[in-house]
């Protein structure tokens, strides 16, 4: 078979909670025959199963559906959800649903697909395969495409390992995501905004399995992959049209902000996928086996080197939650005697920032004049501190010596304080790296260390809180210049 036909089913009504999707599909007069593939947009399954929430509950619903956070950019979260899928916002969607509501994914997409397949068999007497589809963004690629998230009676993976290519070369790693290819083909005729949530593919009956028992989602190694195309061969019915012959399309714009535009939603794909469970679960690579799971040593190194000092910021507001997440990372730094010597003062109001910076400027000017600097020199030096005024958010890290030891001689007491200062610096470094991970720029400035009494008085801090500089935080106004290369050998002494 080197051709197939795909069309969307018109006439499906608005789906409501409790509707029997198999009966609604049958009522359209789909003309299904044995071996057809029926592809159903997951949104209408969610509606029929009552997986609808008020939009105000979206963030808490994402939290509830999230197993782990894979990546975060501003408010956007790419997460692994309870179905095992790695998606933007756990797959919770506000498109194609009444205003003020959002849709959760079906709780068990494979079970939903089996129910539809059984219902079509009972209603129409046909043996078809069923796929539930949803829209995903993809790593390293712009744009969106549909993939299969639920399957019944469909060979979802075409395992070519153990076979040979056209030149006789052995195939040792190639496993084709056939169900995802089918989902993408069906999306060409369903579209995103045409109100056509169901499509039929005919001509690929060899992909329809007799049952949904164990192993139905994964063919035996060496099973040949039949050549297919998105358009029918010459002389056959045209592909990519509806039953009436009207072309349809969809841009996927309603999901671009959540997935494709942000660049990644879904485990990175390689050819070495190993078939496992039946149904669409066989398409999901476990995080353990994913070469691109966050937390690799390469990702950690990039997080460290990606931190750059930023001195110019946009007017965009800083998310206080992002700063607090950075503080949570900061306080994982090493510290002596199992202490926690870090405190972070968040200056979130313009008034608090101005009050502090004005008092610090006056203290600095007084110091410079006592040093005998000219008024021109004073003005020039004071201008260097304007980076803190240009930032929309300031943080003052402080050192506390709770839990430190007192030895009674200057040498050891000085070493004790130095230990705590090193720990404070490690906390600040963690903080700056975590801010960079939140796509926030920062600049650490030492100025509060030269007027600690003033800072404590203005910010009403305890006497034992020692300010350790200030951190300007904001969205970078431009990309930083390339970092000068530093060879590790220049900083080493080997014994």
Q: What is the arithmetic mean of pLDDT over 279-297?
A: 69
Section 280-291 average pLDDT: 77
Residue with more model confidence, 270 or 19: 19
Does the pLDDT at position 237 exceed 90? no
Looking at the chain, the whole-number percentage of residues with pLDDT higher than 90 is 61
56-70, 113-127, 378-392, range with greatest mean pLDDT:
113-127
- Mean pLDDT over 417-436 rounds to 96
Q: Identify the residue with better confidence: 260 or 114.
A: 114
Looking at residue 24, what is its pLDDT?
Answer: 97
H or E stretch at 410: helix 410-437
Write down the residue that tokens 């329809």 correspond to.
Answer: 208
Residue 454 has pLDDT above 80, yes or no: yes
> Per mean pLDDT, which range of 328-332, 467-471, 484-488 is the poorest?
484-488
Query: Model confidence over 358-401: pLDDT tens digits?
Result: 999 999 999 999 999 999 999 988 887 788 999 999 999 999 99
249 versus 381: which is more confidently predicted?
Answer: 381
Give the CA radius of gyration of the chain. 30
Predicted confidence (pLDDT) at residue 269 exceeds the cutoff of 60: no
Over residues 306-317, the pLDDT tens digits come to 789 999 999 999
- Among 2-11, 30-39, 284-293, which is the least confidently predicted range? 284-293
Q: Is the pLDDT assigned to residue 230 strictly greater than 60?
A: no
Local confidence band at 354 (pLDDT 50, 70, 90 cut-offs) = very high
Candidates 391, 444, 400, 393; CA nearest to 420 is 400
Mean pLDDT calculated for residue range 128-132: 97
Distance, CA of 440 to chain centre: 17
Helices 297-305 and 410-437, packing angle to 10 deg? 100
pLDDT of residue 50: 95
pLDDT of residue 283: 85
Per-residue model confidence (pLDDT) at position 56: 84
Higher pLDDT, 146 or 231: 146
pLDDT tens string 159-192: 899 998 889 999 888 889 999 999 999 999 998 7
pLDDT: which is higher, 275 or 302: 302
CA distances from 288 to 72, 266, 299 (A): 20, 14, 16
* Residue 274 near residue 266, CB atoms below 8 Å: no
Distance between CA 116 and CA 25 in Å, rounded? 9
Confidence of residue 292 (pLDDT cuts 50, 70, 90): low
- The yes-or-no verdict on residue 226 having pLDDT over 50 is no
Average pLDDT, the chain: 84
Q: Which residue has the tokens 């297919």?
A: 228
Please report which confidence band the pLDDT of residue 107 belongs to, taking 50, 70 and 90 as the band edges. Answer: very high
- pLDDT confidence of residue 33: 97
Q: For 9-82, where are the E strands, in sequence order? A: 37-41, 52-54, 66-73, 76-81
pLDDT at 299 (0 to 100): 66
Q: Check residue 384 and give its pLDDT.
A: 79
Residue 240 has pLDDT above 60, yes or no: no
In which band, very low, low, confident or very high, does the pLDDT at 278 lie, cut at 50, 70 and 90? low
pLDDT at 223 over 80: no
pLDDT of 239 = 34
Strand pairing category for 86-88 and 76-81: antiparallel
What secondary structure does DSSP assign to 230-297, as a single string? SSPPTTSPPSSB-TTS-B-----HHHHTTTGGGT--SPPP-S-----SSGGGGGPPPGGG-TT-TT-H
Share of the chain above pLDDT 70, in %: 83
Euclidean distance between CA atoms 8 and 201, whole angstroms: 9
């Amino acid at each position: 078979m080197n051709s197939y036909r795909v069309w969307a089913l018109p006439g499906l009504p608005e789906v409501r909670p409790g509707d029997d999707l198999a009966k609604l599909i049958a009522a359209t007069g789909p003309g299904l025959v044995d071996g057809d593939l029926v592809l159903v947009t997951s949104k209408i399954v969610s509606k029929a199963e009552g997986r609808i929430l008020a939009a105000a509950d979206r963030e808490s619903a994402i939290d509830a559906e999230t197993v782990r956070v894979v990546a975060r950019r501003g408010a956007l979260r790419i997460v692994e959800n309870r179905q095992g899928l790695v998606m933007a916002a756990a797959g919770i969607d506000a498109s194609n649903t009444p205003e003020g509501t959002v849709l959760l994914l079906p709780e068990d997409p494979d079970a939903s697909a089996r129910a539809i397949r059984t219902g079509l068999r009972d209603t129409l007497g046909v043996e078809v395969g069923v796929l539930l589809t949803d829209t995903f963004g993809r790593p390293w690629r712009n744009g969106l495409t549909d993939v299969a998230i639920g399957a019944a009676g469909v060979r979802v993976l075409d395992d070519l390992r153990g076979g040979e290519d056209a030149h006789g070369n052995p195939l040792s790693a190639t496993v084709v995501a056939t169900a995802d290819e089918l989902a993408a083909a069906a999306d060409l005729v369903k579209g995103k905004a045409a109100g056509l949530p169901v499509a039929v593919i005919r001509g690929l009956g060899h992909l329809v399995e007799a049952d949904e028992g164990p192993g139905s989602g994964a063919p035996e190694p060496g099973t040949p992959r039949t050549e297919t195309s998105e358009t029918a061969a010459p002389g056959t019915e045209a592909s990519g049209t509806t039953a009436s012959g009207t072309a349809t399309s969809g841009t996927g714009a309603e999901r671009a902000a959540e997935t494709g535009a942000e660049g990644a939603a879904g485990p990175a794909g390689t050819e070495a996928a190993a078939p496992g469970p039946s149904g669409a679960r066989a398409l999901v690579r476990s995080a353990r086996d994913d070469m691109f799971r966050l937390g690799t040593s390469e990702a950690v190194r990039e997080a460290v080197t990606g931190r750059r000092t930023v001195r110019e910021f946009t007017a965009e507001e800083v998310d206080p939650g992002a700063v607090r997440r950075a503080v949570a990372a900061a306080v994982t730094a090493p510290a002596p005697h199992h202490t926690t010597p870090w405190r972070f003062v968040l200056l979130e109001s313009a008034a608090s920032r101005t009050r502090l910076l004005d008092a610090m400027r006056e203290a600095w000017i007084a110091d410079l004049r006592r040093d005998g600097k000219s008024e021109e020199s004073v003005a020039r030096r004071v201008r260097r501190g304007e980076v803190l005024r240009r930032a929309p958010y300031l943080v003052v890290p402080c050192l506390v010596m709770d839990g430190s030891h007192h030895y009674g001689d200057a040498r050891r007491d000085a070493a004790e304080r130095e230990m705590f200062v090193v720990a404070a610096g490690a906390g600040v470094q963690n903080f700056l790296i975590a801010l960079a991970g939140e796509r926030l720029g920062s600049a650490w400035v030492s100025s509060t260390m030269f007027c600690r009494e003033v800072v404590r008085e203005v910010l009403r801090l305890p006497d034992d809180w020692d300010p350790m500089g200030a951190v300007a935080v904001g969205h970078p106004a431009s990309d930083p210049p390339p970092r000068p290369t530093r060879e590790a050998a220049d900083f080493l002494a080997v014994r």
